[in-house]
């Protein structure tokens, strides 16, 4: 295993200690951080490894949320419902991926974006099943105290993040990861050396959707109420891309750092600039991308050190 992958697992393990120090607010933030990290890691499979910029995160987040919501309303326990979300998103995304991933570049981006709209409209119109625009109430899971509820969902989301990270690391070291890397660099050559690129892309799209779907399910159970405009929010598609760009495209450690930094920025900006928060956040993101185009992982400790000592030498 490479050093950065070990660093990633260490980072995730550190996050697990949060409940020892935090209150309910910190736990809520921690749960969001884990969810964002799941988004970013998942997006990275298809966007970072295979090089297909997907805007479908929100589609599978919403689909997962509604699947779990509906199953739990029918009396299915949480774990099974989440599994249902995961499997449904995996299979549906793999099937859709085999078709959509024949498009490249901008065309694929727009097609994946339209998935969000299609799923939202489907959910909006299937009123009997989903409650349509009225939204869907989801039964409480633990329901004891606020803090124990928060701790439960924090650990559930954290566990899902850990599984996602392990799968992504496994993919990055496997023949699948190697093949996706080939596809990103040169798809013509990939086919020519005997790589079944359609199959690989479909698997990648399935994997990038399934954990997002499960996270959606967990989110639904956590907030107890979902409606289409909330879970099919296009921002859920855009944020993972920003996180991945901020952290460093293609690197699992990078995108998780990107997710945490993004959430931190979002919180700080939201608190201090309540009127103009999206504007400030936008400017910050543009500045980061301009001055750190390869993301946070491109900041090597050694380079910073050399930069500092070099500057010192000039002054002396």
**Contact residues: another protein, CB under 8 A:** 175, 178-179, 181-182, 185-186, 188-197
**Please, which residue, 124 or 191, has the CB nearer to another protein?**
191
> Residues 89, 63: contact at Cβ < 8 Å?
yes
**Please, which residue, 155 or 178, has the CB nearer to another protein?**
178
Q: Is the dihedral angle over the CA atoms 43, 288, 1, 153 positive or is it negative?
A: negative
What's the burial of 55, exposed, middle or buried (CB within 10 Å: 0-12/13-18/19+)? buried
**Please, which residue, 194 or 310, has the CB nearer to another protein?**
194
Q: Is the dihedral angle over the CA atoms 218, 219, 223, 225 positive or is it negative?
A: negative
Comparing C-alpha atoms, which of 31, 311, 17, 1 is closest to residue 170? Answer: 1
Closest distance of CB 8 from another protein, Å? 21
Give φ, ψ of 81 to 5 degrees: -60, -45
Closest distance of CB 243 from another protein, Å? 22
**Please, which residue, 193 or 316, has the CB nearer to another protein?**
193
Q: Considering just the CA atoms, what is the radius of gyration of the chain in Å?
A: 20
β-bridge partners, 226: 136
**Please, which residue, 140 or 189, has the CB nearer to another protein?**
189
Angle at 279 between CA 235 and CA 213, to 5 degrees: 10
Alpha carbons 200 and 223: distance in angstroms, whole number = 35
Alpha carbons 114 and 109: distance in angstroms, whole number = 9
**Please, which residue, 104 or 175, has the CB nearer to another protein?**
175
> 3-state DSSP call for residue 126?
coil
Closest distance of CB 188 from another protein, Å? 6
Closest distance of CB 186 from another protein, Å? 5
Residue with the two structure tokens 């566990």: 159
**Please, which residue, 22 or 51, has the CB nearer to another protein?**
51
> 3-state DSSP call for residue 103?
coil
Closest distance of CB 177 from another protein, Å? 10
Closest distance of CB 121 from another protein, Å? 35
Count of Cβ atoms closer than 10 Å to residue 217 Cβ: 33
**Please, which residue, 52 or 154, has the CB nearer to another protein?**
52
Residue with the two structure tokens 């099974």: 80
Closest distance of CB 185 from another protein, Å? 4
Alpha carbons 15 and 205: distance in angstroms, whole number = 27
Closest distance of CB 175 from another protein, Å? 6
């Amino acid at each position: 295993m490479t050093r950065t992958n070990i660093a990633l697992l260490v980072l995730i393990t550190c996050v697990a200690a949060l409940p020892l120090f935090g209150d309910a607010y910190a736990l809520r933030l921690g749960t969001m951080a884990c969810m964002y990290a799941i988004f970013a890691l998942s997006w990275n499979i298809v966007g970072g490894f295979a090089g297909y910029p997907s805007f479908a995160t929100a589609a599978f987040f919403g689909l997962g949320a509604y699947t779990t919501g509906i199953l739990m309303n029918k009396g299915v326990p949480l774990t099974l419902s989440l599994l249902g979300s995961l499997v449904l998103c995996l299979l549906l995304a793999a099937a859709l991926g085999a078709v959509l991933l024949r498009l490249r570049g901008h065309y694929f981006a727009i097609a994946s974006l339209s998935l969000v709209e299609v799923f939202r409209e489907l959910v909006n119109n299937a009123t009997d099943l989903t409650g349509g625009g009225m939204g869907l109430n989801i039964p409480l899971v633990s329901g004891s105290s606020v803090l124990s509820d928060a701790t439960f969902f924090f650990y559930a989301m954290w566990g899902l993040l850990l599984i996602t990270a392990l799968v992504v690391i496994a993919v990055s070291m496997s023949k699948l990861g190697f093949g996706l890397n080939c596809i990103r660099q040169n798809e013509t050559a990939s086919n020519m050396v005997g790589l079944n690129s359609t199959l690989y892309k479909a698997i990648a799209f399935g994997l990038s959707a399934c954990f997002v779907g499960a996270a959606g399910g967990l989110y639904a159970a956590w907030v107890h109420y979902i409606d289409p405009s909330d879970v099919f929010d296009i921002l859920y598609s855009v944020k993972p891309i920003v996180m991945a760009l901020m952290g460093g495209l293609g690197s699992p450690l990078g995108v998780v750092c990107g997710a945490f930094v993004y959430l931190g920025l979002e919180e700080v900006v939201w608190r201090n600039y309540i009127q103009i928060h999206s504007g400030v956040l936008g400017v910050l993101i543009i500045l980061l991308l301009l001055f750190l185009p390869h993301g946070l992982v491109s900041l090597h400790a050694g380079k910073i050190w050399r930069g500092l000592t070099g500057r010192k030498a000039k002054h002396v």
